[in-house]
Amino acid sequence: MTQPTHASGSTSHQLAREPSGAPLRDPGDRPAQILGPDGVLAGAPGWVTPGLTRDLYRWMRLTRRLDAEAFALQRHGELGIWAQSLGQEAAQVGSVTALRPADYVFPSYREHAACLVRGVSPSQILAQWRGVSGCGWDPAARHLHAYTVVLGAHLPHATGYAMGVQRDGTDEVVTAYFGDGASSQGDANEAFNWAATCSAPVLFFCQNNQYAISTPASLQMRTPIHHRAAGFGLRSFLVDGNDVLAVHEVTREAVRHIRSGGGPAFVEAVTYRMGAHTSSDDPTRYRDQAESDAWQAKDPLSRVEKLLEAQGWWDQGFRTALDAECEALAVEVRSAVRGFGPVELDGLFDQVYARRTALLSSEKAAYADLVAGFLDEEVDDDGGPPDSLAGQARTARAFGVGVGR
């Protein structure tokens, strides 16, 4: 792994400290950290309360359980694919909880924690991964855009949305999540420059999880990502992405900067994708176990558990209640996914444009005829029409359309 080690003239905040709590000689030369892997706080930040710490930990635990259940469902053939957030819970929970509910969020495709915190249910998240919905929730109601699977494509969207907010005269802050791989996309660089020149109220939150699928960060770039953002004129921050408390405070500072009219900001959260890129990937082919073990020791959840235990900030009642909440979430996930109906593709034709064109009407009719043809040829074990994803997938392949399998 390549740690950003260069100082950035625009990276300056009071959180960057040595493990002892002493200020760093150069605040930009290492990620800001408050809670070390050993569970020890650097200094005694007055805002780190037992209630806040338990709340952040709770969201991380729920996210990890969702992640584990969804991965297991994919292995059972209930989901076509799944992108794990394992290891990145602190980066997401720490940041999204620093926003106001009205601040609009543009996720990429791994921001399951951000969704849960925003009130999206596990079944709504998985509806998209199952393929039964283009977006399982109402983006306007949650102030949370649909997942964007195309790498970096949502960053210009977020910038444009922020320019609209700017013209509305509100103090809303727009936040876009993405990874280190997406930062190399042309869309990302165009969004950075456009946001900077227009002083758009947007926060670019990069989770540097060290790999763009199988390419390590050391091979992706020669300049730390937050330095690159500073080159575009963005106020940039570097933070330990496995330290939920540091992420929370750094994000609050970045948001304060934006909301006060200071222009866009960029946060690089240094974290690690403990799982595979997706359930279709085998990370053992491109990284060794020693590296994974080293990052396992920095697990974002275990360091908070050590803090809660050392400070006496949790008790058996809290742990029992949270275990029960996680179990209930798992039951809900399994029940919801197995209860989803067949993948319906005909709705796609109604969602391309505000008004359907003649060509789309023709294609929708052709699709209906094709599906009817399959129904004539095939029945399920119960004698009914084929409601399996496999049957839908055959239809989809005939159209060259993907389906949740």
Which residues are annotated as catalytic? 273, 277, 286
Separation CA 379–CA 396 (nearest Å): 18
Q: For the CA atoms of 339, 343, 344, 348, what is the dihedral angle to 10 degrees? A: 120
Sole residue written with tokens 């199988």:
214
Q: In what order do the strands lie in the sheet with 174-179?
A: 105-106, 174-179, 202-208, 265-270, 235-240
User: What stretches of 297-357 show up as alpha helix (H) in DSSP?
Assistant: 300-311, 316-339
137: DSSP letter = S
C-alpha gyration radius of the chain: 22
Return the axis-axis angle of helices 244-257 and 89-96, rounded to nearest 10°: 40
Q: What sign does the CA torsion over 350, 355, 356, 359 have?
A: negative
Separation CA 90–CA 302 (nearest Å): 11
- Selection from 182, 186, 197 nearest residue 268 by Cα: 182
3-class SS at 237? strand
Q: Which contiguous run of DSSP H or E holds residue 71? A: helix 50-75
Contacts of 153 (CB under 8 A, 6+ apart): 185, 187
3-class SS at 212? strand
**339-376 per-residue burial string, b: 16 or more CB within 10 A, e: under 16:** ebeebebeeebeeeeeeeeeebeebbeebeeebeeeee
- Selection from 113, 85, 84 nearest residue 99 by Cα: 113
CA atoms within 13 A on the CB side of 357: 5
Cβ atoms of residues 16 and 226 within 8 Å: no
